[in-house]
Structures are given as C-alpha cells and as structure tokens.
C-alpha cells in the first residue's frame, strides 16, 4: 500500500493505492482537508471503474455523500440520496457466544 497527494475531482486528496491478494488494483481518495472519502478507482479485467462521492450532508450527525457517480466504459451512472434512516442494531448481535468469557 502506498499513498501520496493528488487532485481528484477538483479536490486535493490523499491517494491510497492498494493491491489485493487476488491482484486487483484499487486507489482510494480521501479529502486532505476533511478526511472524507471522495472517490475510488478500481482496475478490473474489463476496464477501469471510477466512483466519485460528492455533496456531503449530515444525517443523524453522520456526514454522507448524497451524490455518487459511477463511471464505467458504458457511461456514467449518478445516484442521489435524499434521505437516510439509521436503524439501531439489536444489542444481542454483540453478545459473546456461549462458553466465551470477557
């Protein structure tokens, strides 16, 4: 994994380059000023996939991108989020299995 600064979608970002054990190459971009994830590029055998995250808004105090643009060889797809609802997890999901002590 390597990182450096680069402009991504007009924003100064830290570029983090990752190669998975399976050999897939991915670059994630994090806004230098905020630390928010601004995008990602993934190299697949059939081409480069680019995701851009924009227009961050707070939902229940959590900043989320309300626009995601996915760039593919076939064209761009834009997703817009208008509302977000967080459903609390059942606390029992975090109980340790029987026989395991804390």
The sheet with strand 37-44 has its strands ordered as 2-8, 11-19, 25-31, 37-44, 47-59, 62-72, 75-80
What digits encode the pLDDT tens for the residues 46-102?
Answer: 788 899 999 999 999 999 999 999 987 778 999 999 999 989 899 888 888 888 866
What digits encode the pLDDT tens for the residues 3-48?
Answer: 689 999 999 999 999 988 888 889 999 999 999 999 999 888 778 8
52 strand-pairing partners: 39, 69
For residue 26, what are the contacts with CB-CB under 8 A and spacing of at least 6? 17, 18, 19, 20, 40, 41, 42, 43
DSSP 3-state assignment of 39? Answer: strand
Which pLDDT value is given to residue 77? 93
Which pLDDT value is given to residue 24? 80
């Amino acid at each position: 994994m390597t990182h450096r600064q680069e402009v991504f979608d007009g924003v100064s970002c830290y570029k983090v380059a990752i190669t998975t054990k399976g050999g897939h190459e991915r670059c994630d971009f994090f806004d230098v000023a905020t630390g928010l994830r601004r995008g990602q590029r993934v190299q697949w055998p059939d081409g480069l996939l680019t995701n851009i995250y924009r227009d961050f808004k707070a939902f229940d105090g959590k900043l989320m991108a309300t626009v995601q643009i996915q760039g593919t060889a076939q064209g761009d797809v834009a997703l817009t989020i208008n509302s977000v609802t967080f459903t609390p997890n059942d606390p029992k999901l975090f109980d340790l299995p029987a026989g395991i002590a804390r």
